[in-house]
Structure 1
Amino acid sequence: MAILGIDIGGSGIKGAPVDLDQGGFAEERVRLETPQPSDVTAVVATVAEVAGRFSGVERVGVTFPGVVQNGVTRTAANVDHSWLGAPARDLFTEALGLPVVVLNDADAAGIAEMTYGAGKGRKGVTIMLTFGTGIGSAVFIDDRLVPNTELGHIQLHGRDAELHASAQAREVEDLGWKEWAKNVQDYLRELERLLNPDLMIIGGGVSKKAEKFLPHIDVRTPLVPAALLNDAGIVGAALAASQA
């Protein structure tokens, strides 16, 4: 049975069938630009286009950059506000003609890392963080997910933390990796103060450049890059779909 994972991001929509035995892609990933504006109709059409590139798919997991409760998207910080209150699961199911599970993007990435990657077998409190257009978060107690935590929106220096420490903030402010690492350090220390985690995993596109910034971050919590790098969201989405 082919299970497809699709990851909706602020800049790209990516998908691939997943080998759930290995925790990797069964076929080469397809990536399309996220439509602008990223309204419901346009994003659903793009997700359907990505899904249409693959044959033999029986189930689909779709990630969304915001809170998802019972298949309904409740927040939309980095996509069009037409997603507020949208029945995402029903919309994707109708467009794809397949059973669909929709979940928060960082939650999906965290599920993948806890199953196959840097969090596998870890006990205590683990926080998975994805740095991209915004900052996504997934919190686990042992291997149990606390869904929809949205820790990228905690207040840091009087504004959303992701405006200070996301990968997009690094580009907007034209920061070098070492400079940006100090912003990330500020953010991670605030998470330590609030949650006292046992492990923090850094994911998103920047995980491929971990050697450029992680050595410049000084926190007391063990800090590791995501083993699945930026593929974790797709893998976690497919895993969630397989378990639904």
Structure 2
Amino acid sequence: MQAIGIDIGGTKIAGGVVDENGVILAEERVPTDASDPQGIVDEVVAMIERLRAGHDVVAAGVAAPGFIDAQQSLVYYTPNISWRNEPLRRHLTERLDLAITIDNDANAAGWAEFRFGAGRDVSDMTVLTIGTGVGGAIVSQGRLFRGGFGAGAELGHLRVVPDGLPCGCGAHGCIEQYGSGRALLRMANEIADVGGIGLALAAARTRDGKLTGHTVGRLIAEHDPGALSALRQLGFWLGQACASLSAVLDPQIFVFGGGVAEAGELLLAPIREAYLTHLPARGYHPEPDFVIAQLVNDAGVVGAADLARVHATAR
């Protein structure tokens, strides 16, 4: 059974036809014009029509950033697109003779990892996506957790520092301000300012005018001591957050995705260390695995398609 998955991002819309094994059979990508919300709807409709031509699809799933209601129909809020209480599913079903499912983009990516990636052998999994911000998804007893209003699993806004750094959500001290790619750049710049182990970071900043995620990632891969120190700081905060999440969710596995997760074991090692330091009842609480996501850039498309197929076959 084939389904279409659409992943709406801040800079691009990705789509694909996906089979029941999570294999993408056809795909395409187009730029996102975040300033034109209606144009995004038009492009999603056109992409679904193009992708379904020549394929026998049973449903289409659309993954969007932001808060989605419990009925998976309404987009409460999207940070980079001017959608506020947008009835996205209705707008799509009015123009497409096809079952449509709407979900949060992190939920879709997490579901893909659960079904076809790093979490396929467990029943309980927590995903943290470490990109510009921190996204999250929770699978509990084989079911995707959304919460009573549909806006749950916003793990990036777990508070780890009371009265800490201000966050874009309006709160202070969220893990997004200490465990994201943006946080890694801030930490790297602070180390560059001091000198010493930060000399290579400072030299790169002088040469390029600023530090970028690509530059810091390259220095991490080269085992530069300053870049590794920034990564260890990041891992400390993520591990502390995971310890708190374990006390509530008790997952068998934590999966880390996003650009920063390309550091692999260099990121996971400080996360594990901080997790064990802050884990309640350490020594008596079973310890989960910590792994890197496997599906990477295709997760949103694959997850959105699979969720749509699940919902279509359950009707």
Normalising by the smaller structure, the TM-score range is 0.7 to 0.9
Q: CA RMSD in A?
A: 2.6
**CA offsets, 1:101-133, max 9 Å, x none?**
00111111122111112111214x420122334
The verdict on how the C-alpha distance between 1:44 and 1:19 changes in structure 2, with shifts beyond 3 A counting, is: same
Name the SS of the counterpart of 1:227 in structure 2. coil
Distance 1:90 1:223 in 2: 39
Residue matched to 2:255: 201
**Which residue among 56, 76, 85 is the counterpart of 1:74?**
76
Tell me by how many angstroms 1:84 deviates. 2.2
Residue matched to 1:135: 134
Structure 2 spans left out of the alignment, 5+ residues? 147-151, 165-171, 190-210, 218-227, 277-287
Residue matched to 2:22: 23
Q: Is the 8 A contact 1:12 1:33 kept in 2?
A: yes
Residue matched to 2:10: 10
Name the SS of the counterpart of 1:165 in structure 2. coil
In the alignment, is residue 166 of structure 1 matched against residue 166 of structure 2?
A: no
Tell me by how many angstroms 1:41 deviates. 1.3
**Which residue among 10, 29, 32 is the counterpart of 2:30?**
32
Name the SS of the counterpart of 1:118 in structure 2. coil
**Which residue among 264, 271, 287 is the counterpart of 1:210?**
264
Tell me by how many angstroms 1:52 deviates. 4.2
Tell me by how many angstroms 1:216 deviates. 4.7
Distance 1:109 1:138 in 2: 8
The verdict on how the C-alpha distance between 1:3 and 1:106 changes in structure 2, with shifts beyond 3 A counting, is: same
Distance 1:91 1:181 in 2: 45
**Which residue among 155, 161, 168 is the counterpart of 2:159?**
155
Q: Is the 8 A contact 1:156 1:187 kept in 2?
A: no
Name the SS of the counterpart of 2:85 in structure 1. coil
Distance 2:245 2:260 in 1: 24
Q: Is the 8 A contact 1:7 1:105 kept in 2?
A: yes
Residue matched to 2:297: 230
Residue matched to 1:43: 40
Distance 1:161 1:88 in 2: 30
**CA offsets, 1:145-196, max 9 Å, x none?**
2113111122243233223323355467646343245224303322322433
- Normalized per residue, the structure richer in helix is 2
Structure 1 spans left out of the alignment, 5+ residues? none
Structure (1 or 2) with the larger CA radius of gyration:
2
Q: Report % sequence identity.
A: 33
The verdict on how the C-alpha distance between 1:205 and 1:183 changes in structure 2, with shifts beyond 3 A counting, is: closer
- Normalized per residue, the structure richer in strand is 1
Aligned-partner residue type, residue 161 of structure 1: I
Tell me by how many angstroms 1:33 deviates. 2.4
**CA offsets, 1:182-231, max 9 Å, x none?**
22430332232243343110123444553563345333442111122221
Aligned-partner residue type, residue 183 of structure 1: L
Distance 2:10 2:131 in 1: 8
Count of matched residue positions in the alignment of Structure 1 and Structure 2:
238
**CA offsets, 1:39-68, max 9 Å, x none?**
531321332343344223542100111221
Calculate the TM-score normalised by the size of structure 1: 0.83
Name the SS of the counterpart of 2:121 in structure 1. coil
Tell me by how many angstroms 1:89 deviates. 1.0
Distance 1:169 1:35 in 2: 27
Distance 1:224 1:67 in 2: 27
The verdict on how the C-alpha distance between 1:213 and 1:239 changes in structure 2, with shifts beyond 3 A counting, is: same
The verdict on how the C-alpha distance between 1:200 and 1:41 changes in structure 2, with shifts beyond 3 A counting, is: same
Q: Is the 8 A contact 2:127 2:136 kept in 1?
A: yes
